[in-house]
A and B are shown apart, each in its own frame.
Chain A
């Protein structure tokens, strides 16, 4: 562990990425920018729709909407910090949801369904990892293949139909309908995943190694890290998150469907990038990614509250991605 620490402080890029360092805190400068953006959006909400925006039920809605994709975003943050990318997340979520609800139609209970969803997600993630770490495939290509094939498999399994979560599996649906302290259970699942993700990234050797592997794989290898095994674990982790997200989408929509998670991969990647994670790896935070995601969710909410259409919403999202990345360039002062 101390060796890793030394390795991590060896290169200039790794130096800044120490666990619990300035990239792990909410108060970090770039996070303040994101928080400011959220505050700005909140003000827009308060001004345009005072009677709707700041209500507790609206805030609950925003959190519930953010939960599914938020869980995926946590996994994506690990993969991108580790120098990779996972394009298959949306498809894996669909696949896991379909697989689980297929079991439901054969009258298996909710526990089996949840375990199935998580196992399918993790298994597919492992396969991504094997292709990338041991098959030496470029992550973009390997996960692209998984994205296409995963969706196809989901369509095949579901016979391209929407599969309802049966009433006797209400335990899954209750994740969305049961409220504790005013928040649906799935928001707690989301919060737990974020917390565990944060701890894993900032307080463990695994997290330290993730930064090292993403920052400079060669240095990481010389420092004694099994880079391949670590890469494998990162994709498995992302797949696990997809499995959990599948359970949440089943809870929210009461269905499993091969159309679930359409374009989630792009939303998750955008959130991670807006959150200040470098696409080249080695740097980034969970908190930033979640803030980035919340910004997206709040924008969608504001647009619908004000009765504006989807097209304008997409333009706004695009503009925000560009603005966020331009701002980060300046604050990072990276030599080009």
Chain B
């Protein structure tokens, strides 16, 4: 019985936290005061079980520079999650896209002897060493998204499923085309940054899922995650293929540019699937006015969850939904497919790009 109450508290806390995170994710243009108000309004609901104030913890946080909608949502969600707890002192360091600087920033957090670190590295491989230093110094590390190759470098990992994104996109496209009875479809792929392992995982998942329908990817180009590059690449791709059946665009931020190019070319004979789940993309899908018919999620709420996990680790607690005494080592979030049918349900979770 006791357990049940605790569990309910945890769930309520999670819901409140999620709500807070989404409200703030959606109101980025409003003054900070409004966001704080909404965050603290959500907080009182969450004071039982694991969310009850405990031992004071200092959480250090480091993430890449927020020059992209998804990353921006990550930092915001982390800060908002930390605000929900009176027993958490949130210590973010200046975000940067320079690996060298991020290493220094994490080192400074180690020097400051924070209780626990939450790190979304620019590159997991390259930040592995400094994360290991933190662990060796007795500071548990919660690794967000881009994984450290060395398991000694983190206490827990939470992140999205890049391979799963590809699989979800592949299944949506494969099934849609199969249902329409299309044979030998022309399927294109517009990637993010080609050199990142996450991009390669997405592409692999996509190809593997399409294979189950007997389909293959006809052409693949990378668009660097920027709007402008999305336009450039899509313009050329549309010229290269006079008839297209489907496009998977890995990223909804660059997708704005891709859609602009498609509109400019006046093409609509194909369906497009996005990636990451931005609010813009969801609104487009809901309106069903263009080629964008679906997007596959890569939830930025993972940062809020990471803060929660970090707090539990520092306080030596487990996750009350599980029987385990301690927080799990690895949590992979599911990639879901958002279509016209469920867009309304996911829209509050979308981030503005």
Q: Which residues of A come within 8 Å of B, CB atoms?
A: 49, 51-52, 55, 57-58, 61, 64-65, 105, 155, 159-162, 164, 176-177, 184, 249, 252-255, 257-262, 300-301, 304-307, 309-311
How many B residues, CB 8 Å from partner? Answer: 42
B266, closest chain A residue (CB): A177
Find out whether the CB atom of A65 lies under 8 angstroms from the CB atom of B228: no
Q: List 25 A-B contacts (CB under 8 A).
A: A52-B239, A57-B239, A61-B236, A64-B235, A65-B235, A159-B29, A161-B72, A161-B352, A164-B280, A252-B228, A252-B261, A253-B227, A253-B228, A254-B256, A255-B227, A257-B226, A300-B236, A304-B233, A304-B236, A305-B239, A307-B219, A307-B220, A309-B194, A309-B221, A311-B194
Find out whether the CB atom of A184 lies under 8 angstroms from the CB atom of B228: no
Q: Which residues of B contact A155 (CB under 8 A)?
A: 65, 67
Nearest chain B CB to A97 CB, angstrom units:
9
Q: In the complex, what distance in Å separates the CA atom of A258 from the CA atom of B222?
A: 19
Q: In the complex, what distance in Å separates the CA atom of A255 from the CA atom of B219?
A: 26
- Asked whether any CB of chain A lies closer than 8 Å to the CB of B263, the reply is yes
19 further contact pairs, Cβ within 8 A, besides A160-B66, A254-B256, A304-B237: A52-B240, A159-B28, A160-B67, A161-B72, A164-B256, A184-B264, A252-B231, A253-B228, A253-B256, A253-B260, A254-B260, A255-B227, A255-B257, A259-B67, A260-B227, A304-B239, A304-B240, A305-B239, A307-B218
B47-81 CB contacts (< 8 Å) to partner A? 65-69, 72
Nearest chain A CB to B80 CB, angstrom units:
15
- Asked whether any CB of chain A lies closer than 8 Å to the CB of B230, the reply is yes
Q: In the complex, what distance in Å separates the CA atom of A155 from the CA atom of B280?
A: 20
Find out whether the CB atom of B72 lies under 8 angstroms from the CB atom of A52: no
- Asked whether any CB of chain A lies closer than 8 Å to the CB of B91, the reply is no
Q: Which of the residues A49, A57, A162 comes within 8 Å of B353, measured between beta carbons?
A: A162
A260, closest chain B residue (CB): B228
Q: Which of the residues B67, B221, B227, B253 comes within 8 Å of A310, measured between beta carbons?
A: B221
Q: Which residues of B come within 8 Å of A, CB atoms?
A: 28-29, 65-69, 72, 194, 218-222, 224-233, 235-240, 242, 253, 256-257, 260-261, 263-265, 280, 352-353
Q: In the complex, what distance in Å separates the CA atom of A258 from the CA atom of B68?
A: 9
A301, closest chain B residue (CB): B236
Q: Which residues of A contact B66 (CB under 8 A)?
A: 160
Q: Which residues of A contact B229 (CB under 8 A)?
A: 262
Q: Which residues of A contact B230 (CB under 8 A)?
A: 253
Q: In the complex, what distance in Å separates the CA atom of A255 from the CA atom of B264?
A: 14
Q: Which residues of B contact A52 (CB under 8 A)?
A: 239-240, 242
Contacts A57-B265, A161-B28 known; A304 to B226 CB distance under 8 Å? no
Q: In the complex, what distance in Å separates the CA atom of A309 from the CA atom of B199?
A: 14
Q: Which residues of A contact B235 (CB under 8 A)?
A: 61, 64-65
Q: Which residues of B contact A159 (CB under 8 A)?
A: 28-29, 72
A302, closest chain B residue (CB): B236
Find out whether the CB atom of B221 lies under 8 angstroms from the CB atom of A305: no
Q: Which of the residues A105, A177, A262, A304 comes within 8 Å of B228, measured between beta carbons?
A: A262
Nearest chain A CB to B167 CB, angstrom units:
23
Q: In the complex, what distance in Å separates the CA atom of A332 from the CA atom of B338?
A: 61
B228, closest chain A residue (CB): A260
Q: In the complex, what distance in Å separates the CA atom of A259 from the CA atom of B65?
A: 12
Contacts A161-B352, A304-B240 known; A252 to B260 CB distance under 8 Å? yes
Q: In the complex, what distance in Å separates the CA atom of A176 from the CA atom of B68?
A: 24
Q: Which of the residues B29, B69, B221 comes within 8 Å of A304, measured between beta carbons?
A: B221
A105, closest chain B residue (CB): B29
Nearest chain B CB to A62 CB, angstrom units:
8
Nearest chain B CB to A50 CB, angstrom units:
12
Find out whether the CB atom of A162 lies under 8 angstroms from the CB atom of B253: yes
Contacts A64-B235, A65-B236, A160-B67 known; A252 to B264 CB distance under 8 Å? yes
Nearest chain B CB to A307 CB, angstrom units:
5
Nearest chain B CB to A41 CB, angstrom units:
14
Nearest chain A CB to B308 CB, angstrom units:
25
Nearest chain B CB to A49 CB, angstrom units:
7
Nearest chain A CB to B237 CB, angstrom units:
6
Find out whether the CB atom of A262 lies under 8 angstroms from the CB atom of B194: no
Most chain A beta-carbon neighbours within 10 Å: one of B221, B227, B265, B353: B227
Contacts A160-B72, A309-B194 known; A258 to B236 CB distance under 8 Å? no
Q: Which residues of B contact A55 (CB under 8 A)?
A: 239
Contacts A176-B264, A301-B236 known; A257 to B228 CB distance under 8 Å? yes
Nearest chain B CB to A261 CB, angstrom units:
7
Q: In the complex, what distance in Å separates the CA atom of A105 from the CA atom of B28?
A: 13
- 8 closest A-B pairs by beta carbon, nearest first, are A304-B236, A259-B226, A305-B240, A58-B239, A160-B66, A253-B257, A254-B260, A307-B219
Q: In the complex, what distance in Å separates the CA atom of A307 from the CA atom of B216?
A: 14
Find out whether the CB atom of A49 lies under 8 angstroms from the CB atom of B280: no
A155, closest chain B residue (CB): B67
Most chain A beta-carbon neighbours within 10 Å: one of B230, B264, B265: B264
A311, closest chain B residue (CB): B194
Q: Which residues of A contact B222 (CB under 8 A)?
A: 309-310
Q: Which residues of B contact A310 (CB under 8 A)?
A: 194, 221-222
Q: Which residues of B contact A305 (CB under 8 A)?
A: 236, 239-240
Find out whether the CB atom of A255 lies under 8 angstroms from the CB atom of B28: no
Q: In the complex, what distance in Å separates the CA atom of A184 from the CA atom of B265?
A: 10
B239, closest chain A residue (CB): A58
Q: Which residues of A contact B265 (CB under 8 A)?
A: 57, 61
Q: Which residues of B contact A61 (CB under 8 A)?
A: 235-236, 238-239, 265
Nearest chain A CB to B23 CB, angstrom units:
17
Nearest chain A CB to B166 CB, angstrom units:
18
Nearest chain A CB to B137 CB, angstrom units:
32
Q: In the complex, what distance in Å separates the CA atom of A162 from the CA atom of B278?
A: 11
Nearest chain B CB to A301 CB, angstrom units:
5
B353, closest chain A residue (CB): A162
Nearest chain B CB to A312 CB, angstrom units:
12
Nearest chain A CB to B218 CB, angstrom units:
8
Find out whether the CB atom of B352 lies under 8 angstroms from the CB atom of A253: no
Nearest chain A CB to B301 CB, angstrom units:
18
A186, closest chain B residue (CB): B264
Q: In the complex, what distance in Å separates the CA atom of A49 from the CA atom of B232?
A: 19
Q: Which residues of B contact A176 (CB under 8 A)?
A: 260, 264
Q: Which residues of B contact A252 (CB under 8 A)?
A: 228, 231, 257, 260-261, 264
